[in-house]
Structure 1
Amino acid sequence: MMYQEKYHHIERMLRACTGEEDVLLTAGGDHADLASTVAFKLAKKEKRPPQEIAADIAKKLGRNPELGDIQVEAAGPYLNFRFGPTLLAEAVREAVEPGYGSRPRRSSRVVLEHTSANPNGPLHVGHIRNTVIGDSLARAFRKAGYPLEVQYYLNDMGRQIAIVSWGFDHLDIHRGEGEKEDHYVARVYIAANREIEKNPEITHEIDLLMQKVERGDPVTVKKFRSAVSLCLEGIRATLAALNAYHDRFVWESDFVRIGDVDRVIERVRRLPQAVEDETLWVDLSEFGFEKRYILRRSDGTSVYSTRDLAYHIWKGRNYDRLIDVLGADHKLIGAQLQATLKLLGEKPPEIVFFEFVSLPEGSMSTRAGKFVSADELIEEVAAKAFEEVTARRPELPEGERCAIAKSVAIAAVR
């Protein structure tokens, strides 16, 4: 808005100075904020060199107090205009006003799911790419006037959570003093996986835990929820540090508890594309997928995809537009989800995919303990920002330098 006002102000002054309606004012590229080639146009009429005309116009405009802090100069036959600090000051002042940039409210309801990392450890630098993309989309949709709900889908009954729960029950690992909740859960998860590597028989115990939680065994459900809730506290703190907030945390197990997963399975079984052998799966070859879309294991338990179908059916019936932000490893399962929802006559989500963040030694893995946490990244960037702020503004109080460094760090990470 400020830029347009400055443009029209200069345009009016040029018209008054030259008598021309079209003063050929355009973007100045690398040399200026705005530039005009009107001197070429006047040279034909006045029979004078355009350089001389440009110099005369620049002199006249420069003496006009209406120009304010805008600088004008003749660069040969060209007139260059550079904005002064007023433009930036006015733009910032306008930007901090409530409702700046917002569009009229719309009626179409949007649900946006992002981050949704498994609660078996802290968010790492790969997860927060999802967070930043999702939160940026959320801000854009809200500015555009859409009623929006941002959701985090909590996987609270998958194999990873069963391993965490087993680790809490069988490994004597205590939380360190001042240790963040999600980092503590990660230590338990990593240690439990190492025990499983040493003794594969533990896998049977993990399978039993997954069967119990699906049957709704109160003791197992409570243990799973306790582990997830603990990890979620740490995840929430990281999200808050990134200025990314969710309106709702949706628990995966709720769709089993309220019967939605059973209802989905019954609907799928009636599809002509459904196949029941040892497992229940959907033949999606008509959509170009050779891989089976499995929805029920041979032991009768549902898989993540089944609960995900139930979740998206619920979203489709409560919102007008569904958007998921997913990693590149979800491209196949995301497309299978969309195809199956179409077969069921339900609303498929729009999916925004992002590519992985990898370490020099390869992909990150919480299970293997091979990752860089978002907390570590934020801490390191904030420390470097503090050094720079201190070097530039040593006279500021330490608290103020810390606050500036934190803001700079979060902006840099995002």
Structure 2
Amino acid sequence: MSLNFIRETKEKILSAVREKWPDAAVGDCAVEVPNLEAHGDLATNVAMTLAPVLKQPPVRIAETLADALRDDERWRIEVKQPGFLNFFFSHDFLLFNVQRYLSTLTEFPKRTEKIVLEHTNVNPNKAMHIGHLRNAVLGDVINNVLKRVGYRTEVQYYVDDTGAQVADTFVALKEFGDVPAKGQKFDHFCWDRYAQINAAYQKDPHLLEKRSSILHALEDADSTEAGAVKELASRILNDHLSSMADFGVSYDLLVWESDILRFEFWKHAFEVLQRSDSFTKENEGKNKGCWVLKTGETSQDEEHSPDKILVKSDNTVTYTGKDIAYHLWKFDLLGKDFRYGTWKKAPQKKSLATTDTQGKKSSKYGRADRVYNVIDVRQAYPQAMVKLALEKLGYEQESKHLKHVSYGIVKLAGEGKMSGREGRGVKVDDLLRMVTERVSTQAYSVQSKRLDAPISDCDIAVGVIKYFMLRYNPHSEIVFDFKEAGAITGNTGPYIQYAHARASGILAKAGIHSFPKPQTGSLSSAEARLVKQLYRWVAVLESVSETLNVNEITQYAFELANSFNSFYEAHLVLKAEEPDRTRRLALVYAFRSVVADVLATLGIAAPEAM
């Protein structure tokens, strides 16, 4: 038994339904944690969903199920109008299974499906800004969750080294100089140059011809210009990877857009697309001479076509066209593969692979069962076109398993709208520096007795930033406010970290290094609330693995920390008499174990003292 109460209770309910009514068609049922304690620890409305099928009153169905389930010593069951089944777990069961629950936190069954997760994907033309960081943090936590629940994952970083943005920076360095100031990060230097060239385009339109020339040259991946642009992109990418390493974000594979051209992926994708009647060359109208993907929608006027251009009339392949080729490869539908090498300058702990024309063959990469792309909400349409292309080609299962994980933009309190072309925005490195400086002047300080892995003000700053970005619904826009994000109370990273530090301090004073087995199952209301919150963690992980809404984790972390602090304020622990002392120390130990696991999943440090 995994002690995921929701899943196991659901299985018991469905088993009872099948036994009582073998002919009733019931595939699933809702089992949820009620909002009110009076409604139990879990509740289900299965009787109400069965009522139309069985043509019986919901209460009668609920009572029949309750009678069938009451022989389980783990719970008592109440039936409430209009047909709810409310489950109340026994305190003995909850308390005496805590140790076994802690030991099973990492024992999720291995799943056969492989998920390719694509995130970050920052254009290699300038420094990363805080919007890019939200993408990376979301993607990293989703990957952590998927691995925790048993999936095989592969994190890919797509490097667009043939696009207009990197061409702009290349032209800027040629026009205005390519040597940064002493001590200046190269990607920060390029941030300024990128803004400079975009301003220059307004004054000297002839500079746009130079960009066009570079973009045309990039269509030939083996051209001298393509080699020089990739060298530039590589240098900026290394700075990006360094910025991400500061936040503990890592990757498995770098996929270069220029390699999609070198390995002739688009040529093969073009042949695949021609099998579909939805991919056609337009001979008249606004898109004359273009190869388009027919969406099936009708145009509202002559000026706007509902169809997506994949190849322009000058035979230039659009970004979406290349992306379709990329996704055919991800799902192993292209009939082509890259060669692979090792990115030797990676600042991350694990090895980082890269597509490489001089590399070796490997069957390790791609071959996904599912593909999740973390890309901001403004890219919803191109992502929908890739999904549509798979569907039109007859790959309905793959289309269904391609998911766009969208998110809203990020702003800094007091700052206006960001614009890379105008050089307005907050760089990731600058944000981390500013927050670290603010952390170092706060009323709380950080200590760690672990000499092999000390926790610094910078680690706390990383927690402040990551937690703030993760706590909101991904689809919402957020405004980063340090005063709010760095508060020691409320739904913040420091609040959760402080709860871990408080538990660690209690256990250190008690000299507790392993789980102290409690002698009695009697629990107060505060103790019961805490232990029930502990058991929710596995269910939260499984829920997020399906919804990909990582703010469910931060909400759980907040509720868990609240339950612990309420427990601590309600009861003596170190000065309590036995058997209360051992029982409460067991709950403190269990809380610290679970909240440490939550923080690790979020990629946030867990300080021992704060």
TM-score by length of 1: 0.72
Point out the structure with max Rg over C-alpha: 1
Query: Structure 1 residues 203 and 100, CA, compared in 2 at 3 Å: closer, same or farther?
Result: same
1:71 counterpart residue number: none
1:85-234 matches, within 5 Å, as 100-234=105-239
Name the SS for the 1:354 alignment partner. Answer: coil
Aligned counterpart for 2:404 among listed residues 348, 351, 354: 351
1:70 counterpart residue number: none
Query: Structure 1 residues 341 and 406, CA, compared in 2 at 3 Å: closer, same or farther?
Result: same
2:294 counterpart residue number: 283
Cα distance in 1 for partners of 2:154, 2:216 equals 32
Query: Structure 1 residues 396 and 143, CA, compared in 2 at 3 Å: closer, same or farther?
Result: closer
Cα distance in 1 for partners of 2:266, 2:36 equals 58
1:330-341 matches, within 5 Å, as 330-341=379-390
Amino acid in structure 1 at the alignment position of 2:281 = V
Amino acid in structure 2 at the alignment position of 1:337 = V
Aligned counterpart for 1:374 among listed residues 422, 428, 431: 428
Name the SS for the 1:169 alignment partner. Answer: helix
Query: Structure 1 residues 213 and 275, CA, compared in 2 at 3 Å: closer, same or farther?
Result: same
Tell whether 2:334 aligns with 1:329: no
1:172-225, Cα deviation, whole Å (9 max, x unpaired): 242111111221222222222222221112222211211111123431111110
Tell whether 2:314 aligns with 1:299: yes
Name the SS for the 2:184 alignment partner. Answer: coil
Name the SS for the 1:183 alignment partner. Answer: helix
Cα distance in 1 for partners of 2:371, 2:298 equals 21
Query: Structure 1 residues 117 and 291, CA, compared in 2 at 3 Å: closer, same or farther?
Result: farther
Name the SS for the 2:165 alignment partner. Answer: helix
Cα distance in 2 for partners of 1:376, 1:126 equals 13
Query: Structure 1 residues 27 and 111, CA, compared in 2 at 3 Å: closer, same or farther?
Result: closer
Cα distance in 2 for partners of 1:266, 1:229 equals 31
Q: Is the 8 A contact 1:357 1:363 kept in 2?
A: no
1:280-299, Cα deviation, whole Å (9 max, x unpaired): 22121359995331111232
Question: 1:157: how far off?
Answer: 0.2
Any unmatched runs of 5+ in structure 1?
5-25, 35-86
Query: Structure 1 residues 149 and 102, CA, compared in 2 at 3 Å: closer, same or farther?
Result: farther
Q: Is the 8 A contact 2:448 2:455 kept in 1?
A: no
1:408 counterpart residue number: 460
Tell whether 2:252 aligns with 1:247: yes
1:39-118 matches, within 5 Å, as 100-118=105-123
1:307-322 matches, within 5 Å, as 307-317=322-332, 318-322=367-371
Name the SS for the 2:150 alignment partner. Answer: coil
1:268 counterpart residue number: 273
Name the SS for the 1:372 alignment partner. Answer: coil
Question: 1:122: how far off?
Answer: 1.6
Amino acid in structure 1 at the alignment position of 2:373 = D
Q: Is the 8 A contact 1:287 1:339 kept in 2?
A: no
Cα distance in 1 for partners of 2:267, 2:314 equals 15
Name the SS for the 1:156 alignment partner. Answer: coil
Amino acid in structure 2 at the alignment position of 1:407 = D
Any unmatched runs of 5+ in structure 2?
6-32, 42-94, 283-287, 333-366, 467-610
Cα distance in 1 for partners of 2:132, 2:379 equals 13
Amino acid in structure 2 at the alignment position of 1:261 = W
Amino acid in structure 1 at the alignment position of 2:242 = A
Report sequence identity in percent.
27
Query: Structure 1 residues 126 and 370, CA, compared in 2 at 3 Å: closer, same or farther?
Result: same
How many aligned positions are there?
331
Question: 1:28: how far off?
Answer: 12
- Structure having the higher helix fraction is 1
1:106-133, Cα deviation, whole Å (9 max, x unpaired): 2211110011121111221111111111
1:62-99, Cα deviation, whole Å (9 max, x unpaired): xxxxxxxxxxxxxxxxxxxxxxxxx9xx99xx98x9x9
